[in-house]
Each structure stands twice: as C-alpha cells, then as structure tokens.
Structure 1
Amino acid sequence: MSETPAIELRKINKSFGPVHANKDIDLVVKKGSIHGIIGENGAGKSTLMSILYGFYNADDGDILVDGRTVTISDSKHAIALGIGMVHQHFMLVDNFSVLENVVLGAEDSGLLAGGLARAKRELKRLEEEYELRVDPEALIQDLPVGLQQRVEILKALYRSAEVLILDEPTGVLTPAEADHLFKILNVLKDEGKTILLITHKLREIMAVTDTVSVMRRGEMVATRETAGTTMEELAELMVGRSVLLRVDKKPAEPGAPVLEVENLTVTDKRGVQAVKDVSFTVRAGEIVGIAGVSGNGQSELLETLAGIRKATSGKLKINGETIDLGASTLDAADMRDKNMGHVPEDRHRMGLINSFAEYENSILGYHRDPAYSKGLLMDLAVIRKNAVAEIEKYDIRPPNPMLKTASFSGGNQQKIVLAREIERDPQVLLVGQPTRGVDIGAIEFIHRRLVELRDAGKGILLVSVELDEIRGLSDRVLVMFDGRIVGERGADADEGDLGLLMAGVDDTHSAPAEGGVQ
C-alpha cells in the first residue's frame, strides 16, 4: 500500500452563518482502504464530503489528493481528480437505459469517440472486473434499487474514479443486497480503489471498514483502526456518553386483541394496489413490527389505519368495534377519538408544522380537546404548562416551548411527536420509522419509551426499514413484500430469514413469496 494518502484534509473549516459545521478537520485516508466516517446528525459528515466532492468550498484549510494540494471548485473538478460520489438518493434518469445513464454527463469523454458501442464495451469490462453485472439495455425504472445502486457505482468508475464516496449506501437495500454491496466494496478495494463510507449503522462500520473516523459537533474527535475498536466505544465517541446499543426489554405478556385488520386492500392514486388483502392482529402488551424494503405497501397501510388514506376494501376492529373501511368516512380525527395514536413516517410532512412553536405542535390534532379550552378560546396557559411537562419528561432540547419547531434537531422534533401521541394514553399506537434521521442517543430514548408503553398494556404496530430496530423492538415480525404480508416470525427472527422474505423469496420454497398471514 502506498505511503502517500489517497486523500488528506488539513484544518478544514466551513460555516453557514453562525453555524460552524466543520471545525479544523484533519483526515487521512489511506490508498486502497475502506474508511468509514460516522457521527450523529449535524456532526458535519455530509458537509465535509460535500467539500471533498466540490459541492461546497471550504472557508479555509487544505485538500490533498495523492499528495498534491488541490482546489476543488465543483463536482466536475472532483471527478477530473478521480473522486466519485454515490449519493444516498440516486441521481439516475428513470426512463433512460443503464448505458445511457452511465455515459450521461460524460459525452465529451474519449470513450464516446467510437459511439455508444465503444462505451458499451467499456461498461462490460467494468462490470466484469468489479462484479457489478447489470443489463446495459435495461431501463432504470425496471431495476430494483440494489441494481440501481450498481449503476451509480459504474457511473463513477466509468469516469475513472479512484476514490469513491458512498453516502448511507444501504438505506434502501435488503440485508442480502447490503451484503452483496459489501462484497463489491471489497472487490473495489482489492483492485486498489479507495472507499469513503458515510453511514450511521455501526454494524456496517464493523463489518466492512479498515479504519473509522468519528465526528461530533463539527469536530473530528477520533480515528480508530476498526479491528481495534468496538461498537460500544464508537457509540460513546459519537454521543459523548455511554449508550445502550441493544433494546432492553423483558418478554411480552400479550393480552386481548386491540387491533384486528381483515382483508385490507388499498389502491393508490395511480390505480395500483399498494396493499393487497392484508390481515393481522395486534394484542395489548405487544409490539408487532412490519419489516420490508421501503415502497412495499407499509406506508399506505399505516396511513389507511390512521384514517389519512381511503381503503378500497377490508375491515378494522379496534377495541372491539368493527369498521368497514371500504365504506367508512372516518378520518384521522375520528381514529384519534377511537384511542389510536399515530407517529407518522414523515414528521415534517405529517407530524409537525415547523413554523409553529413547540407548545402549539404539542397539541396538534388534539387542539379540540376540552382540556385545552377556556370558553370559546384556547387555554394557552394550560397548553404551555403541559408542553413544559412533556419537554422535561421526554428530555426535549432546548427546553423552550416558545421556540419554533424548525429550530429543534431531528431527534428532538421526533420526541415532540412521540410525546404528543404517547401522553394521550392511546390503546393502540401506530409508529412509522420512529428513529429516521435521529441521533444514536435519541434512538436509545425512543426505544425505551416504546417498550414502556408496551409494558403498560398498549398495542403497538411498528413500521421501520431498519431491520435491527424491527428485530430489537418487536415481539412478532410481519414481513411485507409487494403489498402483501408474506411471512410472520417471532422475536428471535433470523436476519437472513427476514432478508429473504423482504426480497420476495420464500425461504422454504426458494420462490417468490405469496399470500398473507390470516
């Protein structure tokens, strides 16, 4: 391995107004290595990588590529220096072919001098050399996300990238797809490529990286050889205190059914069935998790049960009352009146009004409750008093109910939503992506609150794309694929087993899974 680092950053600083996003950052990345960068939300990871890729210009500091000091003015300049980036949200044109996407933006490349045929030959060489096989004639819109990600990597390699930055690369992958990605990264490393892996998943850091750097509040606080550290140490470095990485809970003691769903079908605005004849039960005192890759009907299922989306057909029994969802006119307010809470998957789109103060968001959806009324007016003193109590109980920071919700971090915004829903003492709680975009310290807190609610005899339906979260919190796991529930497993569900079901493969028959759990 070369003595000269592939990338070296020296005293990088970047501010956005009063926010100092990167403070005197030093980073050395060895050639031919996989180097992980971890940190809480707002730690400055994305800003630092955006500087390296030319999206931002540093206020001061030096960037060295192969030992030479460079100024990276934009992403085109970064590509010319051999730096490629695979974004968390793919930058692909859906109705273009794989080949067209790979050459898009590189039309002035010498590889196109002989036309697309020459470019196709180069693409085939890259596919074989790096085990990134994908049909060059296939349309992007027809490819699963795992193959779309391969196309993004091929785009960078086609442009002769020697350094690849991957930003949260497994967020949309099944466990099996993630494992295959790691194999590809190791092949790239063996061929001399250098990988910078940005992720919040400590398990992935331990599995695939050689070195890991930890950022906290805009500063680089530690760099460790991966083989010489632990997930516990890395978590403590990220947060600045010790963190419990596992969900601490006793076995569930489920009681009577509190939520029963029978033959639920939901058709989306395009006329496509998003939920197909789904049936299941949630009992008091248990957490039922729904695992699946995003886009397989989980969102539509939660929104329908919460009264936000109209069902095509099916029945719902909640606390003994049966509702024909196909004929029902019930909305979200009606479902709240039936003692059902809802933590939506997208807190910004459905859970909060960011321009409102924290105390206003603390009663959103419950503002007609007589407890908050004073004659014809709202009793602001009572509302603010309750908000202060929730802030203290849920450790919401900063502890200021008058502050605009937009001023809170993602984790604290999520706590505001959870506090609002849990403190109404619902018999059933629907929870979508409870820790999406949430710091590791807040994740620990949120998990503990959900377990406490379960132990208080409530029924919880949990949807999450984080398989570790599903396995850690759930007492039973249902798996959704293509709008159907294709399997049910217990609390000790095997990751590989769940991964096969999430990919639409029935592990007992090695064929696409069909049907549902009745």
Structure 2
Amino acid sequence: MKNENDERFVQSEVRIRPGDPPLIKFWKISKYFPEVIANNKIDLDIFPGEIHAIIGENGAGKSTLMNILNGIYQPDEGEIIVDGYGYHLASPQDAMAIGIGMVHQHFKLVPAFTVAENIYFGEKTKRIFISKKEMRQRMNLLFDQYGFYVDPDAMVSDLSAGEQQRVEILRALSRRARILILDEPTAVLTPKEVEQLFISLSKFRRHGNAVIFITHKLDEVLRFSDTVSVLRQGCKIGTYATKTCNAQFLASKMIDGDVGFHNENNIAFLKTKDRDPNIPPLMRLSNVSVINDQKIATLKNIDLEVYPGEILGIAGVVGNGQRELSQVVTGLTKPYTGQIFIHGLEVKKPNPKIFSSVGIGHIPEDRLKTALMSHLDISHNLLMRTYFKKPVGKSFLYSPRQAYQKACNMVRDSKISIHGMSFQISNLSGGTQQKLVSYREKEITTCLLVAVYPSRGLDIGSIKEMQEYFFKLRQRNISVLLFSEDLEELLNLSDRVGVLCHGQLMGVKAASQVTKEQLSLWIGGHAIDEGGRV
C-alpha cells in the first residue's frame, strides 16, 4: 500500500464547461421552523470532482441545508436533484442509497466495537455473517483506493479523534458514497491530521466524487476548497471560485459588512498592566497528579498559579493532559496526589458544586457529554447551573413559569438565533450549542472562567464576541484559564502562556516573551530558557 505520508493535497483538475450537469442540485430549497426561516429558496450546485465549502455565521442555515441533503430533514419547498433526477429523501438511509454520506461533528460510533465492526455494522446484505477476514479484505480495497488507513482490529475507544473520523468516512465509503458531507471536520483534529484528511479527500474526488464541508476556518477554506458558498440568515449570498477569494472578502460576505479583517481573529486589545507581586494567586495547584483507569499518569506533578484578572493560556497537542487539567480545576476530577487551593484555602474534597459555588464557570471540551443534557430542551439546559436560585427556585420549590421566562430572557439578551425554547438541545448546530453553554456559564462566573477550546464551532463574529468577553472579565478582575490549539489566539489573548506535554507542565512564561515558533517547539517537548531560547 502506498505511503500516504509521501503524498500531498492537490487542487482539483476538474474543468467544468458551460452546460456540464451538476452532481447535486439544490433547487429553491426552503425549510421553516417556528418563528424562524432556516433556509430560504436556496439554489446550489455541486459538481463532480469538487471540494465545496459552505460557510456562514452560526444560525445561517448551513447544517439545516446539509441535513436536508442527508434526509434528516425534509424541505418545505424545493427539490433535491441528483444526477438529473429529483428525489424525496425521507431518511439518511434513503440518502445513502443514492450515494450521499454524512460525517457529523459528533461521531456516531460504538466504542466497544472494532474499526471493522463499526464500518460494517448495520450494512444491508443478504448474508447473515461476514467473516473478519472478508471485512479486512474489503477495508484494504478502500485503503488502496482512497487512503484513510485505520487498523481494522483496533477498538474504537482507543482511537484518536482523527482516527475515529476516518472510521466514519470509511463507513460511508463502504456503502459506495459518491458525495461526502463533513460537518466541521477539523474541529477536533491536530494540524497533521487536518493535512492528512484533505490528502485523502483529494484522492476521493479524483474519482469524480464530491466533498461538501461546513466550516468556520477561513484559512482551511482558502487552502483546501475549490468552491465556496456563503449563507447568511438562511439565504445564499453567493458561490465563488476559491482562488478568486481572500479572507477579508469571505468574512465581509458572512456578516454583511467590512470586518476590519487583518487576521482571522482580528484581536487588537490592550494587555493588562504588570501584575502586583503582592497579590496572592486566586487558585494554586501544588504537585497535582492524575491517574486514569488504566493506571497511567495523565498529569504529572503540576505546579500552577492563576492570578486575579489574568488570562492564562494553556497550549499543547490534544491528549497531553489538557482535559485532565481542566477537570481538576473545575472539580470534575479528584487529583491522585497534590493539593488545590482557592483564595488561599485548600479544597479538601473537590467536587463540581464547590467550584461553581465560589464562582468558577466552565466551558468544557465536549459540549454534549459534559455540558449539556441532549434529551432536554433549551430552557432546562440554560438553567442547569442556577435552577435553585431565585426567582426560579427556593428551598424545595421550583417555578416552571419563572424558569421559562428567565430562559427566554437569557436567549434574548444573548442574541442567539434558535427555533424555539422547546427544541431539544441536540437538534441545534454545534456552534449554537457552544454559544448557549458560554452564555449560561456567564451566570455563575465571578472569579474564574475555565474555557476549553471555546472557539470550536463558532463563526468569526461569535469568536470575536467571546474573546471580547474574556477581556471584559479581565477588566472586572476575573481570571480566564484558556485552553486552545490555536497558537495565535493564545499569544494574542493571554497574559501568560503555559504548555502541557505528555502530562507535564513545561513551564509558564509571559506571552509577550514567546513567539509562535518557540511555542511550537515548546509543545513538541523542547525546553525554552528564560531568554526564550530553545
């Protein structure tokens, strides 16, 4: 099998001539929810051999449009045309039957099954049993044709996020998908995994197939897509050849105006003054270690101080202890060794209630597993942290009317576009879920906000709003512990920045004393001295 590491992403060589038919045509597609027009008469063509990016702010209608193509929703008006034939797609099974496969932002795999079992689980076949040998042979054919290599015998629970995404894609390819829909495909991937994903996708589309991907990362749009379509408030603003676009142009189309775009995050805020050395830390970790269920140390002897009114950034490749550290400082994980001090007092028996009661908010890494109850509606999820406080709750009493009113006020004040308070939280886009979690945590944050990859799934405008909020917290002498994979974001926002590598804290330095290149080397395990030298 050819080594994928020797390959690189190549732009499409497909030349579309006037009159060439599209592989997929959206014709006047409209979708309505209570009080919201999610899609409004959208016309869109997807051609063979094309990687087509769909961008827009949260709530612009991107996920709804793709869910219509995948058969999850049915349009109220319009038609989906594939290969010149109109189809009514009543389910994802109907979509897969004509070659449309979707990989969702939150993977739908069975952790206790192997890779091969996940790929062929539920496949319609006349045979009752498929041997492991045959599954491996069929997977090897997919590897040779498209790439996306994953060990067929590996347990899904042991795979990285990038490997799990490959399994989802392989499952679609095993069912002969010709159109792949990817929803925020790079949100949980490392830079190396992003590169490998698009190398494999470039092989996939060389066979006359098409890729549609929803994203908020304009640098990836400009680098990897052939065509980009912009949605705004349920309408298609335009479709453009990517080579004719730049980030400034796309951002202005997304938010209806000039965004003063100099870099993707457009941060130009003032740093805080020098910290008073006489002010004690808000939180201090002393010799903290964490051991996982496999008896492996995921955090090793961490000493860390968070001071009032600072933004402390934590960098590192996913899986190097970020999740464990964020859970320790919010009470979700009890240290195996070491001590935690808040306002100088040791927390003897850490638990989430203690940390939230002193004003520590938490935007976690995994929204649906840690922050939200997917089977509950929006109002219940918004009030999860404050249901016991007046006017909603008092002693053992709970007022549903006051709860509903407060949730409505929170949504109104946050300016988040939703389809109705009774909607299950799992039916919202990932970006909208993230915004609701962030706004909910504002209600309890009075001393420290722990934000773990808070920009994931957010559009440019929402990212800027969140980052402005971090600076407002700092002005109120409230601290932010920011975990991020975006090195520019960390250096632009943080007063100090630290790096986790293999569960160890490599050190903490003033952000102004570290360059992006030095930070990258630090993440890779190279020590940096006081002068910033490697």
Give TM class, smaller chain: 0.7 to 0.9
Deviation, structure 1 residue 435? 4.1
* 1:281 aligned to which of 301, 305, 323: 305
What's 2:212 paired with? Answer: 196
* 2:360 aligned to which of 333, 341, 344: 341
What's 1:514 paired with? Answer: none
Distance in 2 between residues matched to 1:343 and 1:249, nearest whole Å: 23
Secondary structure at the aligned position of 1:135 is classed as: coil
Distance in 2 between residues matched to 1:506 and 1:104, nearest whole Å: 40
Q: Considering only aligned residues, what root-mean-square deviation do their CA atoms show, in Å? A: 4.4
Deviation, structure 1 residue 67? 2.5
What's 1:11 paired with? Answer: 28
TM-score of the superposed pair, with normalisation by structure 1? 0.77
Task: Check conservation: 1:356, 1:404, Cα contact below 8 A.
Answer: no
What's 2:122 paired with? Answer: 105
Task: Check conservation: 1:6, 1:30, Cα contact below 8 A.
Answer: yes
Deviation, structure 1 residue 293? 5.6
What's 1:512 paired with? Answer: none
Q: Taking structure 1 as reference, are residues 99 and 202 closer, same or farther at Cα in structure 2, changes over 3 Å only?
A: same
Q: Taking structure 1 as reference, are residues 317 and 365 closer, same or farther at Cα in structure 2, changes over 3 Å only?
A: farther
Task: Check conservation: 1:274, 1:482, Cα contact below 8 A.
Answer: yes
Q: Name structure 1 gaps, 5 residues minimum.
A: 509-518
Task: Check conservation: 2:330, 2:362, Cα contact below 8 A.
Answer: no
Q: 1:260 is aligned with what amino acid?
A: R
1:238 aligns with 2:262: no
What's 2:498 paired with? Answer: 478
Task: Check conservation: 1:263, 1:277, Cα contact below 8 A.
Answer: yes
Count of residues in Structure 1 that have an aligned counterpart in Structure 2: 481
Q: CA-to-partner distance for each residue in 1:83-115, whole Å, 9 max, x for gaps?
A: 2222222232223332222222335289x9996
Q: 1:312 is aligned with what amino acid?
A: Y
What's 2:443 paired with? Answer: 420
1:134 aligns with 2:150: yes
Distance in 1 between residues matched to 2:201 and 2:79, nearest whole Å: 28
Distance in 1 between residues matched to 2:357 and 2:164, nearest whole Å: 43
The share of aligned pairs that are identical, in percent, is: 35
What's 1:261 paired with? Answer: 285
Deviation, structure 1 residue 229? 1.8
Secondary structure at the aligned position of 1:123 is classed as: helix
Distance in 1 between residues matched to 2:517 and 2:319, nearest whole Å: 20
Q: Taking structure 1 as reference, are residues 304 and 67 closer, same or farther at Cα in structure 2, changes over 3 Å only?
A: same
Larger CA deviation: 411-420 vs 160-169: 411-420
Q: 2:303 is aligned with what amino acid?
A: S
Distance in 2 between residues matched to 1:333 and 1:155, nearest whole Å: 41
What's 1:88 paired with? Answer: 105
Q: 2:361 is aligned with what amino acid?
A: H
Deviation, structure 1 residue 209? 0.7
Secondary structure at the aligned position of 1:506 is classed as: coil
Deviation, structure 1 residue 11? 0.5
Deviation, structure 1 residue 354? 5.2
Q: Taking structure 1 as reference, are residues 473 and 329 closer, same or farther at Cα in structure 2, changes over 3 Å only?
A: same
Q: CA-to-partner distance for each residue in 1:207-253, whole Å, 9 max, x for gaps?
A: 21111111122221222221222223322322234435322234554
Deviation, structure 1 residue 262? 1.7
Secondary structure at the aligned position of 2:415 is classed as: coil
Q: Taking structure 1 as reference, are residues 434 and 92 closer, same or farther at Cα in structure 2, changes over 3 Å only?
A: closer
Deviation, structure 1 residue 291? 3.1
Q: CA-to-partner distance for each residue in 1:448-469, whole Å, 9 max, x for gaps?
A: 2312443566543112455554
What's 1:316 paired with? Answer: 340
1:222 aligns with 2:238: yes
Q: Name structure 2 gaps, 5 residues minimum.
A: 1-14, 528-534
Distance in 1 between residues matched to 2:157 and 2:350, nearest whole Å: 36
Deviation, structure 1 residue 183? 1.9
Task: Check conservation: 2:103, 2:182, Cα contact below 8 A.
Answer: yes
Secondary structure at the aligned position of 2:288 is classed as: strand
Q: CA-to-partner distance for each residue in 1:172-225, whole Å, 9 max, x for gaps?
A: 211221122122222223343211011122222122111111112222122222
Secondary structure at the aligned position of 2:78 is classed as: strand
Secondary structure at the aligned position of 2:443 is classed as: helix
Distance in 2 between residues matched to 1:501 and 1:155, nearest whole Å: 37
TM-score of the superposed pair, with normalisation by structure 2? 0.75
